[in-house]
Chains A and B, each alone.
Chain A
Amino acid sequence: AQKVTQAQTEISVVEKEDVTLDCVYETRDTTYYLFWYKQPPSGELVFLIRRNSFDEQNEISGRYSWNFQKSTSSFNFTITASQVVDSAVYFCALEGGNTGKLIFGQGTTLQVKP
């Protein structure tokens, strides 16, 4: 069975704080892909990152960074120096094998206060 767990339902931080969103996944596939999407109040999911199971290198893109650890089946997302515009729902997703079928976590609502 494939499953994505985002244990944090809601997180509230003050602007400029760093925040980490947790994602734990389950899959029996040896080849899989992990994703993060952002859903602002407008509703559209915005693609942030795609990582395949053979690439455990951490990635940094501006204020965003991702930590992929196969040993703990985790793919955590950190926002450094958060801003009000980062307020959104963030989804972690898993694609097992190569099917195009994304399994989403429940999402974490991030509120960044000024």
Chain B
Amino acid sequence: ETGVTQTPRHLVMGMTNKKSLKCEQHLGHNAMYWYKQSAKKPLELMFVYNFKEQTENNSVPSRFSPECPNSSHLFLHLHTLQPEDSALYLCASSQVSLGGVYNEQFFGPGTRLTVL
């Protein structure tokens, strides 16, 4: 595997379901991100993890719960979602230098989520 991979690529779930999105980066990066891309809004940053520590939570509802067990893996746990949460969820990774400079982000193919 190369780059950033995401599974599943497509997910349909009911509002009472619990599911998880998985992201894995094979680039040796130390920062990972979750973004939401919906039809009527620009790409929105949801969470940032730097060296496994969450450094940003962009006012995301608690029904989205991220988990970063190590620098290569990132999960987004979903529960009690609403239909308006239907969107493309993109994961990204980047390298943060010793001086704290964030380099460019590389994105995965995304998970297309539909909430019924």
Shortest Cβ distance from A43 into B: residue: B110
Q: Which of A10-18, A56-64, A70-78, A94-102 lies at the binding interface?
A: A94-102
**With contact pairs A44-B109, A101-B48 given, residues A95 and B43 touching in the complex (Cβ less than 8 Å):** no
**Which A residues between 64 and 114 are near B, CB-CB below 8 angstroms?**
91, 93, 95, 98-107
Chain B interface, >50% SS class: strand
Q: Is the CB of A100 within 8 A of B33?
A: yes
**With contact pairs A50-B104, A100-B96 given, residues A45 and B42 touching in the complex (Cβ less than 8 Å):** no
**Which B residues between 21 and 41 are near A, CB-CB below 8 angstroms?**
31, 33
B12, chain A: closest CB distance, angstroms: 17
Shortest Cβ distance from B33 into A: residue: A100
Q: How many residues of A contact B (CB 8 A)?
A: 23
Q: Which residues of B have CB within 8 Å of A47?
A: 104-107
Q: Is the CB of A44 within 8 A of B107?
A: yes
Q: Is the CB of B105 within 8 A of A102?
A: yes
**With contact pairs A43-B88, A45-B90, A106-B42 given, residues A101 and B56 touching in the complex (Cβ less than 8 Å):** yes
Chain B residues close to A by CB (< 8 Å): 31, 33, 42-43, 45, 48, 50, 55-56, 58, 88, 90, 92, 94, 96, 100-110, 112
